Amino acid sequence: MTQLSIPTTALGERGQIPLIGLGTYALDGEAGATAIATALQNGYRLLDTAAQYLNEETVGKAIRQSGVPRQELVVTTKLAGADHGYDKTLAAARASLQRLGLEYIDLYLIHWPNPSVHLYAESYRAMLQLADDGLVRHVGVSNFKPAHLQRLFDETGVWPALNQVQLSPALARTELRRFHAEHSIATEAWRPLGADEGVPSNRNVTEIARKHGRTAGQIALRWAVQQGIVAIPKSGRTDRQLENAQVFDFELGDADMAALATLDLGEAAAWDADTHEEF
């Protein structure tokens, strides 16, 4: 068993969240549960699932199988698009808790804003109620743009603790991150390895990786955590889980960061939450 040491960053007013967590999309069944449990035994403490992934039961099973004390974990799940609305959100959270076999969710996110449905602010209000009731520790969102975030604040006076967005050196989301920083919203990166945008094979990335004696994936993840961005790479393989979390013993210099900045494809290359909706 490897004992990883994964540093944390601020979440909300009093919370902390590990800078590297485990994405669990498509990790399911016996093999999925074992892969997740092994990650926890090796030192991962942040898990990312969603009602939409249909694997909350597997995640719950993995937590129990791991033997890691519940209070050490940050378990994230997400409200599915079909469950937007105040009452539906309350019911969906309870259903997620039941599938996970947990008494509280550490971080509950709205998966996509689905603006055509016009109910994400209602869901957010219900999630704040769930936090008041002790069923949720931190309320956050995913795939929200600044206008969606602003609307949540205008309607409730509360900024979400975190926004989980598509983010890698090729999708740097600079403006969005500036907005987050202004309002103390933590930034979390999904698909942080940027494979769809060619990050692992990019010449600048492979050159920096060679120089530091690291893999391309580790360069992409170091780029994120060095800027205080939480990243949740998914791997079903223990060797890759370990590799992905071992990014805290080297540093990218100014020249490395400048070379990585040239990869950014711009905001238009990211999935647009004004038009992309998921249910």
Query: Which are the catalytic amino acids?
Result: 53
Find, among 87, 95, 99, 98, the residue nearest to 129 by Cα: 87
Length of the chain counted residue by residue: 279
Who's near 27: CB < 8 A, 6+ residues apart? 33, 35, 36, 55, 58, 234, 236
Q: CA dihedral in degrees (191, 79, 49, 127; nearest 10)?
A: 110
Give CA–CA dist 151/13, Å, rounded: 21
Smallest separation, CB 169 to ligand NAP (Å): 12
Smallest separation, CB 199 to ligand NAP (Å): 9
Nearer to ligand NAP, 154 or 239 (CB): 239
Smallest separation, CB 112 to ligand NAP (Å): 6
Nearer to ligand NAP, 137 or 234 (CB): 234
Nearer to ligand NAP, 97 or 232 (CB): 232
Nearer to ligand NAP, 31 or 255 (CB): 31
The token duo for 15 is: 């919370």
Which residues form the interface with ligand NAP (CB under 6 A)? 23-25, 48, 111, 142-143, 164, 190-193, 195, 217, 232-237, 240, 243-244
Residue 262 · residue 204 · CB < 8 Å: yes
The token duo for 182 is: 């202004």
Smallest separation, CB 263 to ligand NAP (Å): 15
